[in-house]
Structure 1
Amino acid sequence: MVLSCLARVSRSDHASLSLVSKWHRSVLFSPELYNFRSLLGSTEERIYL
C-alpha cells in the first residue's frame, strides 16, 4: 500500500519526502518503486544536470 501511495507522488517531490526519514529515502530511491510506477504508467522522464 505504501508503494501505491508513493508511486503517485511526482518525482519532483521525492527530494522533500526523502528528508522525512531514512526509511522513506530508501523506499523512494528503490527499484521497486520505479517498477511500480511503470506498472501504473506514471513514470516521468529523468533529466540529469
Structure 2
Amino acid sequence: MAAGAETVSDQDKLFYCDTCSMLFLSEGDARAHESLSGHSTVQPAVAQA
C-alpha cells in the first residue's frame, strides 16, 4: 500500500450534526464545527456496499 493511502473504512467515516443537518467528511471538520458552534456531532453507521 502506498504511503498515506487510506483504507476504505477510513474514507467512509462521516460525521453528522443533528442540529444543523450538516455532514462532515472528516473528524477534524466535525470537531472544528463542535468547538465553533457548541453543537455535538455524531458518527453515523457506515453503510456497507
TM-score (normalised: structure 2): 0.33
- Relative contact order: is structure 1 or structure 2 higher (C-alpha 8 Å, sep ≥ 6)? 1
Q: Which has the larger radius of gyration?
A: 2
TM-score (normalised: structure 1): 0.33
Bigger share in strand: 2
Bigger share in helix: 1
